[in-house]
A and B are shown apart, each in its own frame.
Chain A
Amino acid sequence: MTSETPGGAAPTPDGAAPAADDGEEVLRVEHIAKRFGAVTALVDVNMRLTRGEVLGLIGDNGAGKSTLLKILCGFQQPDSGRILLKGQEVTLKSVDQARSLGIDVVYQDLALIDQLSVYHNMFLNREKVRGPLLSNRAMRRLARQRLDEMGIGLTTVQAPVARLSGGQRQAIAVARAVYSDAKILLLDEPLAAMGAKEAAIILELIRDLNRRGDVSIIVIAHNYGQVLEITDRVNLLQHGEITLDKLSKDTSVQELNDIVIAEYRHALEERQRLEERQRTA
């Protein structure tokens, strides 16, 4: 076990975190907690994101990663805690409102509508209109242009997304968020369901955004190799708290794996202890 695991030095909200102190802070999360009935998803999350940074969020299934992202994009509201954008406290009441503040998201389930075309999906809830009518031609042209820029080869943007492959669907969802002019981009498992070739496109896109320097990204991923390759910093979420905050260059796949294996071992011991207690009772 490393010293950053539970009981170790959790990052403090006042900036004593070990990484990326130099950049301008765009997002700060303080003491966020969230319960769903009897289930506690987030206990006390503290997190910060600097301008142009790519932050990897890792953790076990059910650790609360997706919940945290859904709070940051305004889809769900926290029970307590504060969210600050560039030092200003904000209450994110809806997806629309978060978007107007420059936060956009790619959900794990992609939030695509199978029956709608590629371009209608790319512009869902931010359609180009002329008066009351949809400006389909303009949306088709822009969708075409953006997908070409991203290197995603679709012969038509008019097909319903139901007909696309898993990777193409993912790419559409990512393109939708990327081209919303968001300053903070939240990506929940953007590489799930992707073949190596498609994943490379998305990885390149994330790197490209990073190079431009004005977009900050939080990305959830399971493949630690990929995480360390594209991120500047990683945060580990365990049992509803951030328990590790390190620059990507200061950690390794080995270290992250060890933490997770330790967690498994811990869970296994818990179980055995519980069974033993039941047997004796």
Chain B
Amino acid sequence: MSDIAQRAPEAIGAPPDGPGKASPWRRLGHVGSVFIEQREATIFVVAVLLVIYFGFISSASADFFTKADIINITQIMAPIAIIAIGEVLLLICGEIDLSPGFVYLFAPFLMHYLIDFYGFPPLLAILVSLLFGLVVGWINGFFTVTVGVPSFITTFATGFFLYGLTLWTSHAEPVPPSASVEGIGHWIGSYAWSMLAWTLVLVAIFHVILIWTRWGLYTIATGGNRLGASEAGVNVARIKYGNFMITAMLGAFVGLMVAFQVNTIDPSAGGFTAMFYAVTAAVIGGTAMLGGSGTILGAFLGSFVLALLLDGFNLMGISANVINMIFGAAVLVAMVANVQLARLRRAGRVS
């Protein structure tokens, strides 16, 4: 694991093979310090603590480990985790996307229009909806990279445009997905475990892309030192365009997935909330908001933590109004723990 550059391997000067004739305790200490060195460590600990709390301590423990509840958690987690993948890539290369929640909103409507009004075959309509995500990502890239508008503004604008477009074209009315698309819909979102399966597959793929491919290396290089990366011959514009396109397409995919799962194409779905959950998951998972470092695995754990909080407090019967307060406070506590542990990591590095 220590071959991964941005995961903070052992300090310079440390013996390459770890402690030599180590006692079991020292060995345990070594394993412990290697664990703390991983940036996903804090959020992992937070997730474990929450599982223990909701599963054994809280008033909801009887309902917590049921199959239905686990499925519910995965279905809360999936949209957050998948959009967070894109946000991690963008945050690493120094940008942010506020619009994926609105691509999420419009994509299933687009599928519905294409099938029911234009007679597209279901699979083609789904592909066009995903391609639409790519186009939105390209537009975000164009205005941010080529024109030079900050991504915060670019994606705010495209988000609002898509919001209006959805409400205008749908007359703000929900519709069920067409019956002809039901078969594919099962695989995308409505089988009990399909959302979890997609989440795991996408997290695994993008984790590998970030850690073990040139694309990931150049994404880190772009956010770490944009001028330096381009002086070394890295096409930083291409990296940013690409990551905007990935993020928007993941947004479109999540929109379709949720529409199939709830069997409704809902004009109040997605939006800024979906995006903010994803960015929060990324940041509490250890991704820097200033670029240059981040982890997909951490964002996945971050989205798991958010899903646990939303599901657990709900099971405890806390009223919907109070949940928001607790949720806000819990996220803050998780982030404080993260910052403190990062400080500990840096201190360990110096000694």
Beta-carbon contacts under 8 Å, B1-16 to A: 2-3, 5-6, 8-14, 16
- B212 within 8 A of partner (CB): yes
Given contacts A114-B224, A124-B221, contact A155 B16 (CB under 8 A): yes
Among B9, B12, B228, point to the contact of A154 (Cβ < 8 A). B12
* Interface magnitude class on chain B: 20 to 34
Pair B12/A155 contact, Cβ less than 8 Å: yes
Given contacts A117-B5, A124-B232, contact A111 B13 (CB under 8 A): no
Determine which residue in A95, A154, A159 has the highest number of CB atoms from chain B within 10 A of its CB, and name it: A159
A-side interface mostly: loop
Pair A158/B2 contact, Cβ less than 8 Å: yes
Pair B221/A113 contact, Cβ less than 8 Å: yes
- A133 within 8 A of partner (CB): yes
Pair B214/A111 contact, Cβ less than 8 Å: no
Q: Which residues of B contact A155 (CB under 8 A)?
A: 12-14, 16
The chain B residue with its CB closest to the CB of A70 is B231
Pair A156/B224 contact, Cβ less than 8 Å: no
Given contacts A112-B225, A113-B225, A163-B12, contact A120 B231 (CB under 8 A): no
Beta-carbon contacts under 8 Å, B211-241 to A: 212-214, 217, 220-221, 223-225, 227-234
Beta-carbon contacts under 8 Å, A47-94 to B: 75, 94
Among A94, A99, A133, A140, point to the contact of B212 (Cβ < 8 A). A133
Number of interface residues of A (CB under 8 A): 35
- B251 within 8 A of partner (CB): no
Pair A116/B220 contact, Cβ less than 8 Å: yes
Given contacts A95-B233, A127-B217, A154-B12, contact A134 B212 (CB under 8 A): yes
Given contacts A115-B220, A116-B224, contact A160 B6 (CB under 8 A): yes
Pair A116/B217 contact, Cβ less than 8 Å: yes
Pair A140/B217 contact, Cβ less than 8 Å: no
- A129 within 8 A of partner (CB): yes
Q: B33 → chain A, closest Cβ, in Å?
A: 16
Pick 25 A–B contacts, CB within 8 A, sort by A. A96-B233, A105-B231, A107-B231, A110-B228, A111-B225, A111-B231, A112-B228, A113-B224, A113-B292, A114-B292, A116-B6, A120-B5, A124-B221, A125-B233, A133-B208, A133-B213, A134-B217, A136-B3, A155-B14, A156-B9, A156-B10, A158-B3, A159-B12, A160-B8, A163-B12
- Show the binding face of B for A, using Cβ within 8 Å: 2-3, 5-6, 8-14, 16, 208, 212-214, 217, 220-221, 223-225, 227-234, 292-293, 349
